[in-house]
Amino acid sequence: RYILLVNGPNLNRLGVRRPDVYGAETLADIRRRVEQVTRAYGVEVRAFQSNHEGAIIDFLQAEGPGALGLIINPGALGHYGWALRDCLEDIHIPAVEVHISNVHKREPFRHQLVLAGVVTGQVVGLGTYGYEAAARYLMALCTGAGD
């Protein structure tokens, strides 16, 4: 029993890149935080980060079908990643899209979110807590409380 935690381009730089916007936590910190939530449910976290859309699609095609759910911060791919969008549409698991910053308050190019129609929901602007919120939601779904 596992969920996927996927992060897209530049998110390997969390903690270093724009801490004013994205906070001080690293990707390793975020993974630990998500694991703390899922552990109580006996659910593992398979984490993947890539700066390449195709590598993310390869990972989702391989690991998606067996997963209980997906937490994905697509980074800027969220604004234009149509191939990633088609991939998510093809994998029938609950998916929560996370953006650390409130993209709607930022530059206009960040306002379009192309995955919106193929994810269960989105968490935007709650900082790195958004990942934890997404994990709590997926665990509620697993136990039948999230419908």
Residues of each annotated binding site? 73, 79, 86, 100-101, 110
Collect all residues with Cβ–Cβ distance below 8 Å to 15 and sequence separation of at least 6: 23, 24, 25, 26, 27, 29
Q: How far is the CB of 8 from ligand DQA (least distance, A)?
A: 7
Taking the C-alpha atoms of residue 129 and residue 111, their distance in angstroms, rounded to an integer, is: 21
103 binds ligand DQA (CB under 6 A): yes
Q: How far is CA 137 from the centre of its chain?
A: 12
Q: Which is nearer to ligand DQA, 38 or 101 (CB)?
A: 101
Lay out the site mask for ligand DQA across 5-24 (x = CB under 6 A, - = otherwise): -----x--------------
31 binds ligand DQA (CB under 6 A): no
Polymer length in residues for the chain: 147
73 binds ligand DQA (CB under 6 A): yes
CA distances from 95 to 15, 40, 140 (A): 25, 20, 13
Lay out the site mask for ligand DQA across 81-100 (x = CB under 6 A, - = otherwise): ------------------xx
User: What kind and span of H or E run contains 97?
Assistant: strand 95-99
Under the rule (CB under 6 A), what is the footprint of ligand DQA? 10, 73, 75-76, 78, 99-101, 103, 110
